[in-house]
Amino acid sequence: MDTNLPTRAPTLAKHPDPAPTWLGGGLAVSAFLMWSMFPLYFKLVAHISPLEVLAHRMVWTLAFVTLIMVVTGRREIFQKSFYAPKTLGFMALSALAVAVNWGVFIAAVSWGQVLQSSLGYFISPLMSVLFGVFILSERPRPLAWVAIAIAALAVANLVWNFGAVPWIALWLGLSWGLYGLLRKLAPLGSISGLYTETLLMLPLALAFLVYLHSFGLPAGMASAGLATLDDGWLLVGVGALTATPLLLFARAVRLLPLSAAGVLQYIVPTGQFILAVFVFGEPFGDAQLLTFVMIWAALALYIGDSLRAHRRRPAPPPAT
């Protein structure tokens, strides 16, 4: 991971990384498997208002990441250049994207809409691919385009059979695709970037928690209740649960093409889809089954094409 910061605010640019691509793939798969199991944990706090869970998630994620930085001797947080206006401005956009994603996901689990959450994460890799192509000038190989087309048809099939505009899914897909792009371009490393994002969220989170426990939930902002003392450890655990895969993802997305990370990300909605149907008992029909089969066919095609291309790549010259 990046251990040094430049002495002045860095410019927005893609950062080449010497680590091998297979490391990025392993980190990405690990992060996505963890995310796919998130509904199991957030069901435990579904009796608490999603907004309160979101505020606690911001606070305890910052505490967990700060502890990591202190233990690993990361000193850049004490450098003036770390808080350069350009850097903070860019990270504020990243913080906004991830805060929207967190909040919508927490609400989806609380409201029993894990299937729609899975739909959102089926959509988000398509967003990542589009951002990679049109903003980062990435050019997938022909078979990769076929895989992307199959995935797009699978998502279209699910949307067509949904019967209404799936707002939860659309917000999740857009916010997470945008977050992936911003972390790809971020001038900070994975740990320091997540620290900055949650630090920028902290004032709003603390202000909301103080208001909440002084006056209760604002009028018209119902759904679930307030946390009790018995819920404390569950809410603290949300911080560690949030930080771990985010750190893995932030590192992985700097090692992989954004389009590759986008296709691998289908692990997340597939896992959530399985939980929604077989654990939470949400409805499952022919349309969902067809989408599931098409998504995994696209993933298998993309991975196979990527492995073939990697084997054909000439070996680098020996070091002198």
CA gap 56, 228 in Å, rounded: 13
Range with the lowest mean pLDDT among 92-106, 162-176, 255-269? 255-269
The predicted-structure confidence for 106-141, as pLDDT tens digits, reads as follows 999 999 999 889 888 877 777 777 788 888 887 777
Rounded Cα gap, residues 118 and 120, in angstroms: 5
3 pLDDT more than 70: no
Within 8 A by CB and 6+ apart from 265, the residues are 28, 32, 121, 124, 125, 128, 180
Q: Where in the chain does DSSP place strands (E)?
A: none
Question: Cα(306)–Cα(298) distance, rounded to whole angstroms?
Answer: 12
- On the question of pLDDT at 25 being above 50, the answer is yes
With a pLDDT cut of 90, the percent of the chain lying above it is 24
- 278-307: b (≥16 Cβ within 10 Å) or e: eebebeeeeebeebbebbeebbebbeebbe
- In the numeric block, which tokens belong to residue 207? 């202000």
Q: Using an 8 Å Cβ cutoff, are 258 and 186 in contact?
A: no
Among candidate residues 218, 123, 210, 134, the one with its CA nearest the CA of residue 174: 123
Q: What's the whole-number average pLDDT of the chain?
A: 80
Looking at mean pLDDT, say which of 78-92, 198-212, 294-308 comes out highest. Answer: 198-212
Name every residue whose Cβ is closer than 8 Å to that of residue 129 and which is 6 or more positions away in sequence.
Answer: 140, 148, 258, 259, 262, 263
Q: What is the pLDDT of residues 278-288, one digit of tens each?
A: 999 888 878 77
The first and second tokens of residue 179, run together, are: 């977050």
**Integer CA distances (angstroms), 221 to 22, 49, 100, 224, in order:** 45, 9, 16, 10
Highest mean pLDDT among 60-64, 148-152, 291-295 belongs to 60-64
**Domain residue ranges of the chain, discontinuous segments joined by +:** 21-217+230-308
Which residue reads 């990300």 in tokens?
A: 265
Nearest to 183 by CA among 198, 194, 172: 194
